[in-house]
Amino acid sequence: MMIRYAPFGALMWLLIAPLAPAQQKQAGTTTANHVVLGRLANGAAVTFVRAGSGDWGIEISGAAAPRMTQPKPAQIEVYRGEENVRQLAAGYQSVRKEPGAVVARAKVAGGGEAAFTVEDRWKISGAVLSLSRKVTVTGAEDNAGFYSAIRLLTAPAIAWTDVDYLAPGLLYGDPTNDGDSSPGGTLNYRAKRFSIREDLLSAPLFGLSFRDGN
C-alpha cells in the first residue's frame, strides 16, 4: 500500500515483489529480537524481527499461509517530477507492544532539507492485518511531494499471476473489462503494480487471494 502526499493529496500502490529465500523463524513469544503482534485467522503469525543492524522489520509467516516480509517498512519516495524521483527506506528504530497493537517508529533522512518521522500502528482483527500510519515532515523542499509506502515481499515461488487482487469498486481480479488506463486496468496489471488515489477507494481495503486458497 502506498500513500502519496504531493503535496498532501493521496495515492495508493499495491505490489507483489520477489523475496530472496530466508530461513523462517518460529513465531511464538516476544523476545529481545522478536515482538509478536499475534496470529491471523489462517494461523499466520505477524512478527517484528530485529536485524543485525539493530533495525526492525516485519514478517508474516506460519501455517499454510504464504510467507511475506519487509526488512525496511518505512519507505518514502520524494517526487519532483517523472525524471526526478528519490527512493528512501528504513527499518523501524523502535517497536513497542501495546494492548492489541504494536507501535513502530522510524526516522528517514530525505537527502535534502526534508526529513520524515514515521509512526506505524499495526493491529490484527480476525483475518485482517491493519496499518495506521502517521508521517511527520520536518524541513521543506520546493516543488516536491512524497509517497509513503509499505510493501510486503513474497517468496520467489509466488508470481504476480498467482494472485488475484481486490479493492472494492476498483479491482476484482480480472482487469480485462476495467479499461486500459483505469487504476485496475490492463496497463497497470501488465506493469505489475496498481496505482490508485486514496479518494477513489470506497474503503481503505485491499484483498489478496492466492491460488492455494489463502
Residue 1 has pLDDT above 60, yes or no: no
**pLDDT value, residue 29:** 61
64 contact partners, CB below 8 Å, separation of at least 6: 42, 43, 212, 214
* Grid cell at residue 136: 511527520
What's the whole-number mean pLDDT along residues 70-89?
A: 88
Q: What is the mean pLDDT of residues 157-163?
A: 84
Pairing of strands 17-18, 12-14: unpaired
pLDDT tens per residue across span 164-206: 888 888 888 788 877 788 887 888 888 888 777 778 888 877 7
Q: What confidence score (pLDDT) does residue 15 get? A: 39
- What pLDDT score does 4 carry? 36
Q: How crowded is residue 187: how many other Cβ atoms within 10 Å of its Cβ?
A: 13
Q: List the single range of 44-53, 66-75, 162-171 with lowest mean pLDDT.
A: 162-171
pLDDT bracket for residue 56 (50, 70, 90): very high
- Residue at 63: amino acid letter: A
If one counts every other C-beta atom within 10 angstroms of the C-beta of residue 89, the result is 16
Quick check: 13 pLDDT over 50? no
Confidence at residue 24, expressed as pLDDT on a 0 to 100 scale = 38
